[in-house]
Structure 1
Amino acid sequence: MELHSLGYRTDLIFARFQGVAEDCGDVIRVVHPDNPSHYFGNFLIFAHPPRPGDLPVWETRFAALVGGPPQVRHRLFGWDVPARGEVDDRAFLAAGYRREDNVVMSVARLRPPPRPARGAELRVIPDTDAAWAAVVEQQVACQEEGTGESAAAYRHFKEGQFRRYRAMVRAGLGFWYGAFVDGHLAADLGVFTAGRGLLRFQSVGTHPAYRRRGLCGALTHFAGTHAQDTLGGERLVIVADDHYFAKDIYAGVGFEVTERQSLLLRRPGDPADPA
């Protein structure tokens, strides 16, 4: 199966590093055995969008190719972009799935943010246990309400995720960056090479106590420029929630929407729609 989606093609650099991204003909199987609670590390990408009758078929394929409880307690389906055919997700929504709508944004070269983050120090995170522990704490503090995960489960997920990111940095595939205010890590993100001239941003987060200070835009510009100058790469790629304001911050430093991506997620404990 040949993927056309820029978002999914850059996603697979992470799946392949310590997991599996396997072409199964009509679907790509993404599995991260060491972190089964990571939704986007354990999912299926189909060649076509959901159609009537696909719900039981896709769920059966997920159980066979990705797994099920107690290790894998979610189900997540994506499909290639642009969609080949009409999307009919009514059966999935009635069964308790949520539709996740993202924008995949890209740019050849970033421009300075319209709002500079005065007083912030922007730098590469050093490869020390203390520095990476601070990054995990910062990421945990950024957990949004309504994720459906307990604080303990979210921390466990982040610890697994950042073991992989640290290993990728050590392998020379990217960098992790931080914005510091008065010595405190207030925002962080990663940029990694995805091959074929592409660089992909990951896990952008600003601590709730430091939001609306221009840190995200400033750090995005700093990190993207540093990554291109150091790793090369002709195009920067970032994925954002289509319904969240972060995409406007990315647009402020030059990112433009390249494609729109939708997924269907059933989280642990999500009830079916009684209608």
Structure 2
Amino acid sequence: MRHFPDNLGLATDLLLHAETGIVESRDDYIVVRTPDAPEYFFGNMLVLPQQPAGSDLKRLEHDFAHLVGKPPSIAHRTFTWPESVDSVVTLDAFIEQGYDATVCRVLAAHPDDLRPVATSALVEVRPFAVQQDWDDWSRMQLADMPNPEEITSQRYMAHQQTAYKTLIDRGLGNWWGAFIGDEQVGSLGLFFLDGIARFQSVITAPQHRNRNVCKSLMAEVIRRTAGRSHQFVIVADEAYHAGEIYEAMGFQRQGRVASLCQEPRNITER
């Protein structure tokens, strides 16, 4: 694994980005760019070696403009970096300047670590097979976003669909749906990179949450891909409860990934 071998979340993120965009080591950064999707905030970013200090802000914004881009082509700023399980993350200086901060836990499990969980007999799990599966997926994902009606959100989802289909066509994994009858009630991606199985965008429809849909979906996908990897990795926002579901399945905390993102409407010239 070329970058961040001690943080499987960030390492597999970069392997995925390398398949669908451009990943380069430049100066003190890893630069991620997705030229055909300039509005993809986390596909056009600087990866830092460690948590930045407030005094780094001006330098980081200058380097982002130079290495990633600036308006009108790139209208956001995103930075991400690895954190340890128990580090203190202090980002107030950035939040005061219009940045959104996110800290995610990185969870990993070897196949033998995984434990049986409660599942639902109503849920059928299968790979996406027709365009309708992807259309339903897009609607569910958009409904879970802050601004689903914005054209930028819709263009982002269209790009993600194309990128994931490309990964599938290359034989790197699949997108799986959970269905009750004909209704798609959840989905996830699972891709295989350097012997690691990395989950992507696990989601359950709001009206079907707390009904073992997620556990059923993950358990069945893991069962049906047995033998293809020696380790499973998933990244979960610490602000949400999903991480507890994964830990109940046997996933263990391996590290964290933190990020700062300043969306276009919050950009000011400094």
**TM-score, normalising length from structure 2?**
0.89
Q: What does residue 11 of structure 1 align with?
A: 13
3-state SS of paired residue (2:264): coil
Q: What does residue 123 of structure 2 align with?
A: 120
- Give 1:191's aligned amino acid: L
Contact 1:50/1:88 (8 A) holds in 2: no
- Give 1:258's aligned amino acid: Q
3-state SS of paired residue (1:236): strand
Offset, 1:134: 2.7
Q: What does residue 242 of structure 2 align with?
A: 246
Q: What does residue 130 of structure 1 align with?
A: 132
Contact 1:140/1:155 (8 A) holds in 2: yes
Match for residue 235 of structure 1 among 231, 255, 265 = 231
Cα separation, 1, equivalents of 2:143 and 2:148: 14
Contact 1:148/1:268 (8 A) holds in 2: no
Offset, 1:183: 1.0
Matched, 1:210 2:213: no
Cα separation, 2, equivalents of 1:253 and 1:157: 31
Between the aligned residues of both structures, percent identity stands at 32
Q: How many residues of Structure 1 are paired with residues of Structure 2 in the alignment?
A: 263
Cα separation, 2, equivalents of 1:152 and 1:71: 16
**TM-score, normalising length from structure 1?**
0.88
Match for residue 259 of structure 2 among 263, 266, 272 = 263
- Give 1:121's aligned amino acid: E
Q: What does residue 165 of structure 1 align with?
A: 164
Long gaps (5+) in structure 1: none
Cα separation, 2, equivalents of 1:185 and 1:104: 27
Contact 1:106/1:235 (8 A) holds in 2: yes
Give runs of aligned pairs for residues 1-275 of structure 1, distance below 5 A: 2-3=3-4, 4-82=6-84, 89-109=91-111, 110-113=114-117, 115-126=118-129, 128-143=130-145, 147=146, 150-195=149-194, 197-229=195-227, 232-270=228-266
- Give 1:185's aligned amino acid: Q
Contact 2:128/2:177 (8 A) holds in 1: yes
In structure 2, relative to structure 1, the CA distance for the partners of 1:2 and 1:12 (3 Å cut) is: closer
- Give 1:236's aligned amino acid: F
Long gaps (5+) in structure 2: none
Cα separation, 2, equivalents of 1:6 and 1:152: 33
3-state SS of paired residue (1:53): helix
Offset, 1:70: 2.7
Which moved further from structure 2: 35-44 or 163-172?
Answer: 35-44
Cα separation, 1, equivalents of 2:142 and 2:90: 35
In structure 2, relative to structure 1, the CA distance for the partners of 1:133 and 1:52 (3 Å cut) is: closer
